[in-house]
Structure 1
Amino acid sequence: MKILLAEDEHDMSSALTAVLRHSGYEVDAVYDGAAAVEKAQENTYDCMIFDIMMPKMDGVDALKQLRGSGNFTPVIMLTAKAETDDRIAGLDAGSDDYLTKPFAMGELLARIRSMVRRINAFSPSRLFCGTVTLDVEEQELSCKNSIRLGNKETKLMKFFMLNIGRELSTKAIFLHVWKSESDVDKTIVWIYVSYLREKLESVNADIQIIGNKGKTFLLKEK
């Protein structure tokens, strides 16, 4: 699981990063809101943790910008203030949870676990893009006609459809679909993108995956 941490207090950031990595999470740490937006646009994360008070762009504005661009990655907001207005501002901007400093590290880890459970519990079984439908449980892709997908093809297609219009790096795709497999390398991403392109063509889809081997890929409507 990959987490983006945006916290301008370097000591706090180092402590949080150490705890999260010790707990098995992969962490990218940045120190201002503008860098958080840039990083979130470049990579795909399972969860983001934003401090509200940051230089260049505060956490609320950073989150508003990301939500406005179609990024719906779960976010936990951190604030040193206990005022209701800060919590409301974060929630109105699209945050999923918040913690008021100081907080116990164990509580942050529990909030992350809870958030992941909720996401998994409510993950849609049918996804739509253009006139294309992906039935995740049946592993079926359909448009003018239907075709069955393999397990990895389904997982990859789901990842694309949950991130339509977003550039996904080969590394991000590999880590999401094949991160637990040690006997494959990132070249497999290109192979499976090619498989999906063929199957999208076979159902006469009005969406397409653009991108080149080893680079970024993007699902878009034709």
Structure 2
Amino acid sequence: MRLLMVEDEKYMAEAVVQVLKKNNYSVDLVYSGEEGLDYGLSGIYDIIILDIMLPKMDGISVLKELRNNGIETPIILLTARGEIEDKVHGLDSGADDYLAKPFHTEELLARLRALGRRKTELINDGILTYGDIRLNPYTLQLQCESKETVLTLKESQLLELLIKRNGMITSKENIIEKLWGYDTDAEDNRVEIHVSLLRKKLAQLDSDVYIHTIRGAGYVLKTLKDGR
């Protein structure tokens, strides 16, 4: 799952990001409202963590602009102020959740899991299923019947993306944006390497699920019963 964190308290933000990464989230961190809006408008994030008090553009303004531009990404508002009025104002402006600073990272992680389950059709505490496979994006475990293996973070993110696309073709460009960010210098061969590694692990599990290449378009998940 890819997150965007918009927070100008650099020391605190960097500490939170380290915790998030240890919990297998990919996180982009920016320090101003203008940057947060620019990154958020890319539409590549699964959840946005947005502080209210930001330089250049406050969090509520960023939130409203994202919603006005059709960005439906779940947003958690962060603020040092705990008044009911701020909470109500943020939720009325389109936020999905609210967390007052200081907060425990365990609470933030719980809220991220809750929003992740709400955003996607997940079952059994966040397990993603497709065909005969079960993916736990939090532990990186991939299971097929009685067999299981542990994926790398990027392999898990790639498989998660393909499962969520649910039969739709996913281009290399879209994969790069979701896994590495829209301003990355990652190239197509990086995607090809991870697709190849993921294919090998699916084969090792004797899964009916495979990654089908649509030449010139991208990749799509299929099962053997779909036909090659």
TM-score range, shorter chain: 0.5 to 0.7
Displacement of 1:40 in angstroms is 1.5
- Decide whether the 8 Å contact of 1:173 with 1:189 is kept in 2: no
Where in structure 2 are the equivalents of 1:55-94 lying within 5 Å? 55-94=55-94
TM-score normalised by structure 2 residue count: 0.60
Conservation of the 8 A alpha-carbon contact between 2:43 and 2:73: no
1:155 and 2:160 are equivalent in the alignment: no
Take 2:68 and 2:34, find their aligned partners in 1: how far apart are those partners?
15
Query: What code does the residue aligned with 1:172 have?
Result: E
1:107-186 alignment runs, 5 A limit: 107-121=107-121, 155=166, 157=168, 169=174, 171-172=176-177, 181-183=195-197
Provide TM-score, normalisation by structure 1. Answer: 0.61
The alpha-carbon deviation at position 170 of structure 1 amounts to: 5.0
In structure 2, what is the Cα distance between the partners aligned to 1:94 and 1:179?
Answer: 39
For residue 37 of structure 1, what is the aligned residue in structure 2?
37
Percent identity over paired residues: 39
Q: Distance in 1 between matches of 2:86 and 2:164?
A: 42
Whole-angstrom distance in 1 between the partners of 2:213 and 2:38? 24
2:140 is matched with which residue?
Answer: none
Q: Which residue of 2 aligns with 1:99?
A: 99
Which position in structure 2 is the counterpart of 1:51?
51
Q: For each residue in 1:197-219, what CA deviation from the matched residue of structure 2 results, as whole angstroms up to 9, or x when unmatched?
A: xxxxxxxxxxxxxxxxxxxxxxx
Shift of 1:11: 0.8
Structure 2 gaps of 5+ residues are 123-130, 132-161, 181-190, 200-211, 221-228
Provide the rounded CA distance (Å) in 1 between the counterparts of 2:193 and 2:51.
29
Separation (CA, whole Å) in 2 of partners of 1:98 and 1:179:
39
Q: Cα deviations across residues 143-175 of structure 1 (Å, max 9, x unaligned)?
A: xxxxxxxx8796363879xxxxxxx74512577
CA-to-aligned-CA distance 1:42-79 (integer Å, 9 cap, x gap): 35011100001101111111010011100000010001
One-letter amino acid of the structure 1 residue matched with residue 177 of structure 2: A
Q: Which amino acid aligns with 1:45?
A: Y
CA root-mean-square deviation: 3.7
Once the two structures are superposed, residues 92-122 of structure 1 have per-residue CA deviations (whole angstroms, 9 ceiling, x without a partner) of: 1111001011111100000000111122248
Name the count of aligned residue pairs.
Answer: 162
C-alpha distance 84-157 of structure 1, shift in aligned 2 (>3 A): same
The amino acid that maps onto 1:75 is I
